[in-house]
Structure 1
Amino acid sequence: MNIGIVGLGSMGKNHYRVLKRMDNVTITALCDIKKTENFDEPFYDDLETMLKNEPIDALIIAVPTFLHKEVALKAIEYGKDIFIEKPAASSIEDAYEILDAVKQKGVKSCVGHVERFNPAITHLKSELHNRVIYTIEITRIGPFPPRISDVGVLTDLAVHDIDLIRFITGKDILQTSIYKSRKIHNHHEDNAVLSLLLENEIVANITTNWLTPFKRRKVEVACKEVYYEADLIGQTLHAYSDFQTDNSYRTRDIHIKKDEPLYKELEAFIHYLRSGQRGDLASIEDSIQTLHITHAK
């Protein structure tokens, strides 16, 4: 597969690094407004020129969120399959415009919700199969990243967890309450708590901020007869069960083979391009569901 990358910031360079490790994949061209380091591949500062001149099967779109629509529509115009880093677009309307173009042109598309491919999530989802879920608590906190200037924590961080909640439960979100504030960011919220009600009366809470001096990524799920605790950074998963009246319980450490989530996600994307089978990749429709929540008034 011939892959192009547009946007060579932090995430674009991660895609570049991972794709270089993959067999049967060729990075045929790169595009950004400015070349900040040397690459082996042809480099362009104009997307349309790259699309005209280079043999590209699919395009990785890792530009800032406000440019997603413009870049995606241009790639679709040239008949290229697309991988858009989350979220699909800055607004629900823009995301629907991309979706309409994808359908009209018949290209393959997905949105990069990389946490779906975290081994801790893969094992947690498997453990939750056929279990009665009561509550989900997700914590995603850390220091402020100066590279993020065009969006707040809801769009940059909470979208991961809104998507994860739908992904691991297979249930729709029925009601949402969002509480947010701006403490240190110039323009956007940097602190938020989301409370969600899903089908089957599953209650979920997401705590996210850029105010904490260390990173924490945890998912805790209370089920009938068992409680799970997943660490997405350490890629660990623990199960607590056999609860007794004296507050004792049994702990089980679930074996997880650690792996790089982005590698697994791009592997799934290449398989999707070849087979048409989306697998666990997030769709534009999935991203639109998330945008409806983060953009709720």
Structure 2
Amino acid sequence: NHVRVLNRLPGVDLRAVSDPSAEAVERATRSRMARAYSDYVRMLANEDLELVVVAVPTHLHEEVAVAVLESGCHLLVEKPLAPDVPTATRLVELASTVDRIASVGHIERYNPVLLAAKRGLRSGELGRIFQVRANRTGPLPARISDVGVVTDLATHDFDAVRYLVDHKIERVFAETARRMHRSHEDLFSGLMRFDDGSIALFDVNWLTPVKIREMRVVGEGGMYVIDLLAQNLFFYENADVGYWSDATGRLGVSEGNMVRYRIDRAEPLETELSVIVRSIRGEDFEYVSMLDGLYAVALADAVKQSSELHEPVFFSEPALVLASRR
């Protein structure tokens, strides 16, 4: 998908693709001008590149991303940033020492429906946020073998919920299970509490025959229902918020208007890559940072720890030693 989108982006010249699988790299470069490599190190040495997209198994992210940054290229590394916090921390600290764009592919942050919901929250339409529910389920993917559903799939929602709530996380509680995956958890249910009192609930698995990507945000002013796949945003108004609640000082809940917002639908991957390209040109800096990627990995580690202990875990801010950019 990255090759497909980069090949058609205006002003982008797709120079090379590297994959150890001869079949995969032939398929990616077929009918394209990009050169094929079986070894990414040779690609970095031979090609004059500005941006490299790292979409390899999670346990290889550090090895490849370090080589990319040390070669002087800008970097987009797929999520999750790394399989664990120490590895993610090393990558964030390295990225802080180079004068290059380094971003993590939390693609929902470029989904137009999530961006529309965030604009609504910033405008105060929902008022204070009470609760966020994230439902991300679907079939077991054959391609994922090195990490479980928490690290691979739930990190999408950890990042998206942090983005919407925009408050510090106090603690998490989780239960996980392995039902069909050979070596990792494929079922996760969890809770997250923020320092403003808002609560997030997560339902994530690789066990559901149908693919679901939904979020619900409940606040004083009503509820957003966000369909991330269909890119639909519905607002269910709380009719008790307004004149009478302002006049009496009392809050209640009753059914009000329902609004389906118009969304200018777009492919999130294309938006993501466009933002990265514009950022390299100095035109846009609204990309997902390496630090955001670290937070998602840290939350995944806290969730897995809570599941092992069967008790809540207080969330600690990642400890970093960041350098000033040259």
TM superposition score normalised by structure 2: 0.84
2: CA distance, partners of 1:203 / 1:78? 43
1: CA distance, partners of 2:253 / 2:159? 37
Post-superposition CA distance 1:211-252 (Å, at most 9, x none)? 110011111000112111010111101111143689543111
2: CA distance, partners of 1:169 / 1:271? 27
In structure 2, the residue matched to 1:5 is none
In structure 2, the residue matched to 1:263 is 270
* 1:161 partner amino acid: D
* 2:282 partner amino acid: S
More deviation in 113-122 or 32-41? Answer: 32-41
In structure 1, the residue matched to 2:294 is 288
Post-superposition CA distance 1:113-145 (Å, at most 9, x none)? 000111110111011113311100010001111
* 1:84 partner amino acid: V
In structure 2, the residue matched to 1:113 is 106
In structure 2, the residue matched to 1:74 is 67
Q: Which has the higher strand share?
A: 1
Q: Does 1:166 align with 2:166?
A: no
Q: Does 1:122 align with 2:112?
A: no
In structure 2, the residue matched to 1:9 is none
In structure 2, the residue matched to 1:220 is 216
* 2:83 partner amino acid: S
In structure 2, the residue matched to 1:238 is 234
* 1:196 partner amino acid: M
In structure 2, the residue matched to 1:179 is 175
Where structure 2 has 5 or more consecutive residues not aligned to the other structure, the ranges are 241-251, 306-326
Select the structure of larger CA radius of gyration. 2
Post-superposition CA distance 1:177-202 (Å, at most 9, x none)? 11100000010000001200012101
In structure 2, relative to structure 1, the CA distance for the partners of 1:167 and 1:242 (3 Å cut) is closer
In structure 2, the residue matched to 1:30 is 17
TM superposition score normalised by structure 1: 0.92
1: CA distance, partners of 2:69 / 2:192? 35
More deviation in 99-108 or 60-69? Answer: 99-108
Post-superposition CA distance 1:141-170 (Å, at most 9, x none)? 011111111111101110000000111122
Shift of 1:87: 1.1
In structure 2, the residue matched to 1:49 is 42
RMSD, aligned CA: 1.5
More deviation in 173-182 or 62-71? Answer: 173-182
Shift of 1:278: 2.2
SS of corresponding position for 1:150 = coil
1: CA distance, partners of 2:292 / 2:169? 12
Q: How many equivalent residue pairs? A: 283
SS of corresponding position for 1:158 = helix
Q: Which runs of 4+ in 1 moved over 2 A?
A: 103-107, 242-249
SS of corresponding position for 1:239 = strand
Shift of 1:45: 1.0
SS of corresponding position for 1:136 = strand
2: CA distance, partners of 1:96 / 1:181? 27
In structure 1, the residue matched to 2:205 is 209
Contact conserved, 2:92 with 2:294, CA < 8 A, in 1? no
Contact conserved, 2:173 with 2:191, CA < 8 A, in 1? yes
* 2:200 partner amino acid: A
Of residues 96, 105, 108, the one that matches 1:103 is: 96
2: CA distance, partners of 1:23 / 1:248? 47
2: CA distance, partners of 1:108 / 1:62? 17
Post-superposition CA distance 1:237-283 (Å, at most 9, x none)? 1111143689543111111111101111111111111117421x211
Shift of 1:290: 1.4
Q: Does 1:150 align with 2:156?
A: no
Post-superposition CA distance 1:74-128 (Å, at most 9, x none)? 1111111100000111111111111222222332200000001111101110111
* 2:175 partner amino acid: Y
* 1:172 partner amino acid: K
Contact conserved, 2:238 with 2:254, CA < 8 A, in 1? no
In structure 2, the residue matched to 1:195 is 191
State the structure with bigger RCO (CA 8 A, min sep 6), 1 or 2: 2
